[in-house]
Amino acid sequence: MNSHGKLRRQFLKDSIKASGLVMMSPLIDSVKFVASAGRPKEMIRPANRIKFAVINIDHPHIYGMTDAIKRGGGELVALYAKQPDLRAAFLKTYPEAKAVKDEREILEDPAVQLVLSSGIPDERAPLGIRVMQHGKDYLSDKPGIISLEQMAAVKKVQKETHRIYSILYSERFENKATEKASQLVKAGAIGSVIQTVNLAPHRIHNNIGKSGLADRPDWFWDKRRFGGILTDIGSHQFDQYLYFTGSTDAQVLMSQVGNVHHPDKPLFEDFGDVMLSGNGGTGYIRVDWFTPDGLDTWGDGRLTVLGTDGYIEVRKNTDIQSGNKGGNHLYLVNNKEMVHMDCNNEVLPFGPLFVDDVLNRTETAMTQAHCFLATELALKAQKGARILSLKK
């Protein structure tokens, strides 16, 4: 056991004694603290397997998306972005990209096989349609589609062109502890999954990241542009619900949204929750913009997967009770053991698998049906949501 682990256990013991719960202290020693994998490594494919380009970079998620495709062997060749500051910041990080003056230079380039975008949400689906009509595959930031009307148009063109229209649900694909949870569920570590619970708080104050932006843009406050809170940040959670329960058909039992704390932004939503039922299990989702500034990350995102023989809880970004810094914490409890896993050495497979799919016309990273169903559930929950009004 390393010194950090010893200190952590002693801290927990001392805390229990201080609270008067001495009888529970033997349980602390029965919780194993382990690394879920050995040395950190990546699933990296050989370079230059496909050529890809980026159109519109209004959200900094584009950096993680670009890195994922590069890990898969993608060669970034071009960028189109309207905003000079965003364009300069992106090119500083990826100098290999050629800045072009019009998106048509990318759409009409036969060498480009894949287009990525994190444009303003209401512009993502129309762009994706243009990309597919030009014979290319498309990977959008979430939300990739913000209305049922857009969904119908996207599905029609995707069926006609047989191109890939994908959405990077990063809270699953880009979180190592969530990836480890998927491995454990597949291995039967908690039996058959019954329910998922997703808690997804976000900080409304935008941290300065690679984009160089400190303030939220105007479109952030207008649900006509971002689709509403369930459509937007909720799309991650619908993806995880379907994936972990194995549901291929699901219904929204209840949904509600509200703007309970930002009266100066009447077109904004800061809270939403949903209950789901599907052919593989049930689900509960809560999303909000109430992460306090005292937290050490943008949101204390949590995923609980309940099974017939145990449960898993993923602390995605932080774990304030463990004494361990950073994210990617996983707790497993089943009929054999209680384990706390540090999952920072896990491999993120989405990028390499997605590039494989572009090359081989397969669906190993995510099926098209799953991608669309996750978004369709979010859109239906948003459209049918009860408006929450708190009067005290």
pLDDT digits (tens, 9 = 90+) for 206-249: 653 433 334 799 999 999 999 999 999 999 999 999 999 999 99
Q: What is the mean pLDDT of residues 41-59?
A: 89
- pLDDT of amino acid 34: 79
Residue 131 scores a pLDDT above 80: yes
- pLDDT of amino acid 330: 97
Nearest Cα to 317, choosing from 141, 199, 144, 160? 199
- pLDDT of amino acid 29: 57
Residue 19 scores a pLDDT above 80: no
Residue 21 scores a pLDDT above 50: no
Nearest Cα to 375, choosing from 208, 170, 235, 222? 235
Distance between start and end Cα atoms, the chain? 51
Which pLDDT tens digit goes with each residue over 302-323?
999 999 999 999 999 999 987 7
218-248 core/surface letters (b: 16 or more CB in 10 A; e: else): ebbbebebbbbbbbbbbbbbbbbbbbbbebe
Residue 14 scores a pLDDT above 60: no
Q: What is the mean pLDDT of residues 288-292?
A: 96
Residue 46 scores a pLDDT above 60: yes
- pLDDT of amino acid 383: 98
pLDDT, mean over the chain? 90
Residue 20 scores a pLDDT above 50: no
